[in-house]
Structure 1
Amino acid sequence: MPMLDVHLPEGAITAGAEAALVERLTEILIRAEGFDPADPVTRAASWVFVHRPAAVYVGGPRADAPRYKVVATVPEGQLPAAARAEVVAEVTAAVLDAEAGAWPRDPGRVWVFPTEIPDGSWGGHGGIRPLAVILERLTGSDRRQAEALASRRIAASRTERTRMPS
């Protein structure tokens, strides 16, 4: 159930390339969360917001080539470290591919921020949606199975964070 904020500077890529990029980014995030990108229920819960900065500045002056920022937001427990690393690499490649050679292929112009929202803080449908409720909907499992899966994913995520270097 990813929410993507994609910052695409005006004129950086063509409209057709943008549509293909949004599709590719959606699939990358759905797969990273462990779901089938072709599943209509999962796709309906995956939103992309395209932001169009009129200009991007680097260190004061206007950037000499487009700069991109992609913020991938998911519920806590949905992106373990390996998945976050894959998301960063795949999103970076997708953005640079969308330029179709119009600019030098420089991954330093693409910043990707995979972000987990703490369980109990994801809001939708007018209320808080804990991961268990989200997983119940997306996996089609019963409440008990979804709660067990959510507990395992959240515990793993929290354990992983405590092991991360400061």
Structure 2
Amino acid sequence: MPMCDIFLPSGCFKAEVETKLVSTVSDLIVDHEIRRWSELIGGDTTVIKEAAGRIAWMFVHHFDNMYVASAQTSLPHYKFVITIPEGTIDDRFAPAISRDIFSALKEAEGEASRGLSARVWIIIREVKDGMWCAGNRPMPLQTMKDFLENESKTKSRAEL
């Protein structure tokens, strides 16, 4: 059940490039998280991915000014803040997701991607179990596991 806040300079990408980047980042986060969920609960990863993808939220924030220290910079800088429930990722998640988001961003920038590694931050925040809330109630890890297991079982029965 990932969320990601994506911070992009206003107008840095054409609309279709930005849409593709956001879609790719969403898919990447879900793919990497689903690998771990499938280890936690088993089941059909395709069904789990579909269920998780329906509730993976990407928030795109555009900004007009960027400062490095106290000086305004004209080079585009990017920040991705991924929020994940505690207990749903492992030691492989951070290296894999940062590598893959960086590659997607490099593709989006194209030839302008020189020096990109100095212009992007990818921050992963784990939310303590029981502190992730949906609507009007907390969603502890067990509730999320139950949701994904039920989705998997329901889909499997529907295919029979």
TM-score range, shorter chain: 0.7 to 0.9
Report if aligned partners of 2:51, 2:151 keep a CA contact under 8 Å in 1: no
CA distance in 1, matches of 2:151, 2:20: 32
Residue 122 of structure 2 is aligned to residue 95 of structure 1:
no
Cα distance in 2 for residues equivalent to 1:18 and 1:58: 23
* Higher mean C-alpha displacement, 76-85 vs 48-57: 76-85
1:60 to 70, 87, 90: 70
Q: CA deviation at 1:139?
A: 3.2
Given residue 66 of structure 2, which amino acid in structure 1 is its aligned partner? V
Is 1:127 the counterpart of 2:137? The answer is: yes
- My pick for the range that moved more, 120-129 or 28-37, is 28-37
The TM-score, its normalising length taken from structure 1, stands at 0.78
- Unmatched runs of 5 consecutive residues or more in structure 2: 36-44, 153-160
The answer (yes or no) to whether the contact 1:76–1:116 under 8 Å persists in 2 is yes
Count of equivalent residues: 142
Task: Give 1:143-154 correspondences, 5 Å limit.
Answer: none
Counterpart of 1:8, as a letter, is: L
Partner amino acid, structure 1, of 2:132: W
Structure having the higher strand fraction is 2
Larger relative contact order (Cα-Cα within 8 Å, sequence gap ≥ 6): 2
Aligned positions of 1:99-110 closer than 5 A: 99-110=109-120
Give how far 1:105 is off.
4.8
Identical aligned residues as a percent:
28
Give the letter for the 1:14 counterpart: K
Once the two structures are TM-superposed, the CA of residue 56 in structure 1 deviates from its matched residue by: 0.8
More helix by share: 2
Matched, 1:80 2:90: yes
Matched residue of 2:52: which SS? helix
Q: What is the root-mean-square deviation in Å for CA atoms of aligned residues? A: 1.9
Gaps of 5+ in 1: 143-166
